[in-house]
């Protein structure tokens, strides 16, 4: 008789700890492979700790990606109260109960929690998000899946809310998936019918049903959903997978959503102006289809296995690439694989990652926390600096660039950040005064802060339009040590932006480089599809040899630059850049240096690269060595 099988659920971390503490007992009772358990633990912990991007608002609120998408698409400024969570609602109700506002009544989900949700929505809906005028329409996303227990108080709150604000002020759009099994190739409407049935059972009847599908669904399927879900055929909106997300608003317009909402909510929109208002968006969507020339940007990060960690960075690069009429090709490089240890342990992966980095047109080093992969980021900064490759560093990317420069140019081989080495003798990056070691919660510098530009030439200041100050959003806990700033500037690193007190370094640039820029703030948070972020636009333009002409025209793209067709003028520019690169490899003494895009930045003479071994472990060809 076969033995019965049992399933044992254990705490793998504790299991490994017990093996180390009491090896005799475990070895006697179990045949255990400790290495296998450790690998299992790494995979399990990694699968549940995938870092998702934290989006930061002007007031310093840390929210999820959805609010960031709303800000980008609607070009508005949201606030912390626009993010409604269960924790916030329960905290509000508990505080009211503690102050006696419920007069000793028993606090319940209905009506106290549901009333708090409705009052929150009514209050926030009056807050301006664009200028000083109150919004005319408030979009509320009721997330999750209908039927989930954690979302039921919100469903009940909005069931009551529709009667509180009257029918003409309330419109419900239900988003549902219409799967298309490959075995049959026929769209299945059962999931939509089931979810609408459950939604109506909760007291909410959808006015619009937005059907998401892989491919367009026909009129027959729309009529079927209409019949079984108690809506008209014109109220079933089909949104299939498109080549670009920027086509979605245009597809919704074609399905008559604007006309329906105008009538349903009595908005009194002048429909004659609609075409003019959406023209810029149409041009943007058309450009995504017609653009042919590519630009390759390498993102050297530590969370590259989960690309949503850099969602805002990717969006900002897309905005800039479309503005420069380029098709963006992204290459994600795991910074750990650029380090010397990988060269010894996994040389194949090491050389593949370095090849991808070398073949890219530009390099971006984004933010992050922790020691893992830091040395790889530092080596990427070194390679970009030595080989005059367009570079943009953000937050940790700025800190890595400063540490690399100090090691290579100032000779401080032990230069580091106190985040990684608290006892380093040369702490180029230190924790902020507000940061309390061991207490991470609420100690970061968050939200919009003012950056003051220093006197003197600055590429980034020109890209912003030559203002005295700019306001950008921050999210960091460490910053450049100000006592090393004079020595860094003596060797060519310019701190062109600081905070208002001139104690925090916000922007760095290299004098003898086509585009080596890094910011302590996160410019990706304020990038918009029709208004790309200047640091990202500068990276894209420098990567395609157009930055010089862009600045010369007063930071405006010419019709020739916007054209996707090649021209003799651009070919000549590329030819000059190639000739310049050849001269740079030969390193002719006392020859004025011209960058790849023609900007000299007023710097002549010797190269800013260091002699000897390069960032990727080989020799530095820019110094004439073979």
Cβ contact 259:232 at 8 Å = no
| Alpha-carbon gap, residue 191 to 176, rounded angstroms | 8
pLDDT at residue 540, as a whole number: 96
Band of pLDDT at residue 14, cut at 50, 70 and 90: low
| Alpha-carbon gap, residue 609 to 620, rounded angstroms | 8
| Alpha-carbon gap, residue 241 to 453, rounded angstroms | 44
Question: Which of 58, 77, 159, 69 is CA-nearest to residue 115?
Answer: 159
Q: Which whole number is the average pLDDT over 533-552?
A: 92
Band of pLDDT at residue 600, cut at 50, 70 and 90: very low
pLDDT of residue 558 exceeding 70: no
Question: Which of 302, 207, 317 is CA-nearest to residue 263?
Answer: 207
Cβ contact 179:211 at 8 Å = no
Q: Where are the beta strands (DSSP E) in 499-565?
A: 505-510, 516-519
Q: Which whole number is the average pLDDT over 254-267?
A: 91
Q: Which two tokens stand for residue 399?
A: 């800190």
Band of pLDDT at residue 305, cut at 50, 70 and 90: confident
Distances (CA, A) of 242 to 133, 185, 212, 289, 329: 34, 18, 11, 11, 18
| Alpha-carbon gap, residue 406 to 226, rounded angstroms | 67
Angle at 492 between CA 487 and CA 493, to 5 degrees: 75
| Alpha-carbon gap, residue 455 to 448, rounded angstroms | 23
Taking all residues of the chain, what is their mean pLDDT, rounded to a whole number?
Answer: 81
pLDDT at residue 474, as a whole number: 93
Instruction: Choose the weakest-confidence range: 299-313, 350-364, 395-409, 518-532.
Output: 299-313
Band of pLDDT at residue 72, cut at 50, 70 and 90: very high
Question: Which of 512, 488, 538 is CA-nearest to residue 386?
Answer: 512
The 10s digit of each residue's pLDDT in 343-402 is 888 899 999 999 999 999 999 999 888 888 899 999 999 999 999 999 999 999 999 999
* Strand pairing class (505-510; 493-498): antiparallel
pLDDT of residue 48 exceeding 90: no
pLDDT at residue 419, as a whole number: 87
pLDDT at residue 369, as a whole number: 84
Name residues whose C-beta falls within 8 Å of residue 26's C-beta, 6 or more positions apart in sequence.
Answer: 18, 19, 32
| Alpha-carbon gap, residue 430 to 567, rounded angstroms | 49
Distances (CA, A) of 88 to 55, 81, 93, 142, 198: 18, 9, 9, 15, 27
pLDDT of residue 332 exceeding 80: yes
pLDDT at residue 435, as a whole number: 64
Residues serving a catalytic function are: 395, 522, 524
* Strand pairing class (294-301; 236-240): unpaired
pLDDT at residue 351, as a whole number: 93
Band of pLDDT at residue 553, cut at 50, 70 and 90: confident
Band of pLDDT at residue 1, cut at 50, 70 and 90: very low
* CA 293 to chain CA centroid, nearest Å: 24
Band of pLDDT at residue 25, cut at 50, 70 and 90: very low
Q: Which residue has the tokens 């490994």?
A: 16
Under DSSP, is residue 536 helix (H, G, I), strand (E, B) or coil?
Answer: helix
The 10s digit of each residue's pLDDT in 422-475 is 888 888 998 877 666 666 666 788 999 999 999 888 999 999 999 999 999 999
Q: Which two tokens stand for residue 519?
A: 């910011």
| Alpha-carbon gap, residue 412 to 405, rounded angstroms | 9
pLDDT at residue 53, as a whole number: 82
pLDDT of residue 606 exceeding 70: no
Q: Give 572's DSSP letter.
A: H
Q: Which two tokens stand for residue 185?
A: 């190739």
Q: Give 57's DSSP letter.
A: -
* Strand pairing class (516-519; 505-510): antiparallel
| Alpha-carbon gap, residue 309 to 487, rounded angstroms | 35
pLDDT at residue 615, as a whole number: 60
pLDDT at residue 581, as a whole number: 38
Name residues whose C-beta falls within 8 Å of residue 33's C-beta, 6 or more positions apart in sequence.
Answer: none
| Alpha-carbon gap, residue 401 to 417, rounded angstroms | 12
Cβ contact 264:166 at 8 Å = no
DSSP secondary structure, 435-481, as one string: PBTTB-TT-SEEEEEEEEEPSS--HHHHHHTS-SEEEEEEEESEEE-
| Alpha-carbon gap, residue 536 to 364, rounded angstroms | 9
Cβ contact 417:399 at 8 Å = yes
The most confident of 33-37, 343-347, 610-614, by mean pLDDT? 343-347
Distances (CA, A) of 603 to 404, 590, 593, 599, 606: 21, 11, 7, 10, 9
């Amino acid at each position: 008789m076969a033995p019965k099988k049992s399933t044992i659920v254990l705490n793998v971390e504790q299991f490994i700890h017990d093996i180390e503490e009491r090896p005799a007992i475990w070895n006697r009772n179990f045949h255990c492979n400790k290495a296998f358990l450790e690998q299992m633990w790494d995979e399990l912990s990694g699968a549940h700790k995938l870092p998702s991007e934290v989006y930061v608002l002007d007031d310093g609120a840390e929210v999820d990606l959805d609010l960031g998408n709303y800000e980008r698409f609607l070009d508005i400024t949201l606030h912390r109260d626009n993010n409604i969570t269960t924790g916030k609602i329960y905290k509000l109700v508990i505080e009211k109960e503690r102050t006696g506002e419920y007069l000793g009544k028993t606090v319940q989900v209905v009506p106290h929690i549901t009333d708090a949700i409705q009052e929150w929505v009514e209050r926030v809906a009056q807050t301006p998000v664009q200028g000083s005028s109150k919004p005319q329409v408030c979009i509320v996303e009721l997330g999750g899946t209908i039927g989930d227990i954690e979302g039921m108080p919100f469903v009940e709150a909005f069931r009551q809310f529709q009667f509180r604000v009257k029918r003409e002020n309330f419109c419900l759009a239900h988003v549902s998936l219409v799967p298309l099994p490959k075995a049959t190739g026929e769209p299945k409407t059962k999931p939509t019918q089931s979810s609408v049935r459950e939604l109506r059972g909760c007291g909410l009847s959808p006015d619009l049903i937005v059907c998401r599908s892989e491919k367009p669904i026909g009129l027959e399927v729309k009529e079927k959903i209409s019949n079984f879900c108690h809506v008209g055929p014109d109220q079933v909106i089909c949104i299939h997978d498109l080549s670009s997300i920027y086509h979605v608003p245009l597809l919704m317009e074609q399905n008559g959503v604007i006309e329906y909402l105008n009538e349903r909510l009595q908005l009194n929109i002048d429909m004659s102006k609609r075409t003019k208002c959406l023209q810029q968006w149409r041009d943007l969507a058309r450009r995504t289809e017609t653009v042919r020339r590519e630009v390759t940007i390498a993102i050297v990060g530590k969370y590259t296995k989960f690309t949503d960690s850099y969602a805002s960075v990717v969006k900002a690069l897309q905005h800039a690439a479309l503005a420069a009429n380029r098709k963006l090709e992204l290459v994600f490089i795991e910074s750990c694989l650029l380090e010397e240890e990988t060269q010894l342990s996994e040389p194949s992966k090491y050389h593949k990652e370095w090849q991808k980095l070398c073949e890219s047109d530009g390099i971006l080093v984004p933010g992050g926390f922790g020691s893992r992969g830091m040395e790889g980021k530092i080596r990427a900064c070194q390679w970009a600096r030595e080989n005059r490759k367009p570079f943009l560093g953000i937050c940790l990317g700025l800190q890595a660039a400063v540490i690399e420069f100090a090691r290579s140019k100032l000779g401080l081989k032990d230069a580091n950040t106190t985040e990684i080495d608290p006892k380093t003798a040369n702490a180029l990056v230190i924790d902020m005064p507000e940061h309390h070691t061991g207490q991470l919660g609420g100690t970061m510098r968050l939200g919009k802060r003012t950056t003051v530009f220093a006197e003197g030439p600055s590429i980034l200041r020109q890209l912003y339009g030559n203002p005295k100050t700019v306001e950008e959003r921050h999210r960091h806990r460490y910053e450049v040590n100000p006592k090393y700033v004079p020595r860094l500037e003596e060797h060519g690193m310019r701190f062109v932006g600081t905070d208002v007190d001139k104690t925090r370094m916000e922007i760095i640039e290299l004098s003898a480089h086509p585009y080596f820029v890094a910011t302590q703030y996160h410019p990706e948070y304020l990038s918009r599809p029709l208004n790309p972020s200047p640091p990202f636009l500068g990276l894209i333009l420098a990567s395609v040899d157009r930055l010089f002409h862009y600045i010369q025209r007063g930071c405006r793209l010419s019709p020739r630059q916007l054209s996707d067709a090649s021209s003799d003028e651009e070919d000549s520019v590329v030819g000059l850049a190639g000739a310049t690169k050849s001269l740079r490899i030969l390193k002719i003494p006392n020859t004025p240096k011209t960058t790849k895009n023609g900007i000299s930045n007023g710097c002549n003479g010797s190269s800013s690269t260091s002699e000897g071994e390069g960032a990727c472990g080989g020799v530095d060809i820019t110094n004439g060595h073979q």
